[in-house]
Homo-oligomer: A and B are copies of this chain.
């Protein structure tokens, strides 16, 4: 089994190192190959997603991704900026199903800005469609407005689009995932305003017929944003489009106050996937050895479970992570008084030991 390792920028290399150590300690035979991506890809080859990196990602059975983005690339034109690598990988590998758990570990309840009773024990899963919607819809650009009240003026425009197949396949992933959890699915849309999402609602309702054991609820995106703040524990699985999912999954992650703990998976139709922490490249703390490697280590666990068919090894890693939390070890981002502050590598070592 071949794993592509794409550390990227900022804290990416440091946290990936710890996750690779954990993978190496499992006693499995993985072939791991590393390639540059994001700003590092641009620096080395003039493009955030160099051909060789894309090729490696295509050949691999799974991809472990760090994070991309750093100050010195901010001024580049958009097509060369680090985040294009991630958009390119999603689209070119057909990684349409993004799974983002928002879990609050009991030991970390204090880190949340929400009251403990509102978030303790939080365990929700946001499934975001990742290759369609306004992220990729053509046409798009800046043009002279062809019609409307501002005809003849310059305007920026984008196209939101969802085809039936795109909605059906993410709906199937969502219902099947809900079946393995609490069997409750909330489909988030804006059917009262958008044609795309009235269509989305119609298709999701149709797919629901194949999953009568799952309770389906439709919710407008503005209301979903409110309910996430008001009573997040009422959700089980949420499925939504690319744009709404971008916003809601980040809001949900932040509810936990410990985004340094949250992994993510982006899967294609055959469960090949890209795995990355939900947090970013944090260039302000890069190289200081204080980044939290646990989201990346937990991403490696998701990889074992979803793409490499090694659920037991995934369990081992997740148990080890819980153990080090129980031991009171904390990186800076989740440190509070009464716990022991550790560095990135110390945290990685502790997980290895707990394995």
Chain A contact residues, CB within 8 Å of chain B: 78, 81, 83, 87, 113-115, 118, 134-135, 137-138, 140-142, 145, 147-150, 153-166, 190, 192-200, 221-223, 225-226, 228-231, 243-244, 246-251, 253-255, 257, 259
Contact = CB atoms under 8 A, between A and B. Distances in A.
A225 B196 contact: no
Given A115-B115, A247-B222, A250-B223, A199 B142 contact: yes
A225 B198 contact: no
Q: How many copies does the complex hold?
A: 2
A156 B83 CA distance: 27
A62 to B, nearest CB: 23
A137 to B, nearest CB: 7
A195 B160 CA distance: 12
A87 B135 contact: no
B87 A157 contact: no
A141 B226 contact: no
Contact of A222 (B192, B199, B250): B250
A160 to B, nearest CB: 4
Nearest to A259: B226
B78 A198 contact: yes
Contacts of A253: 226
A114 to B, nearest CB: 5
Given A163-B145, A165-B150, A198 B156 contact: yes
Contact of A159 (B160, B247, B248, B259): B160
B221 A246 contact: yes
Contacts of A138: 147-148
Contacts of A257: 230
13 contacts: A78-B192, A113-B229, A113-B231, A134-B160, A140-B196, A149-B163, A153-B163, A154-B164, A157-B195, A157-B196, A222-B247, A225-B250, A225-B254
B150 A163 contact: yes
A-B pairs, top 8 by smallest CB distance, nearest first, are: A156-B199, A150-B163, A156-B196, A155-B163, A225-B251, A226-B254, A229-B254, A222-B250
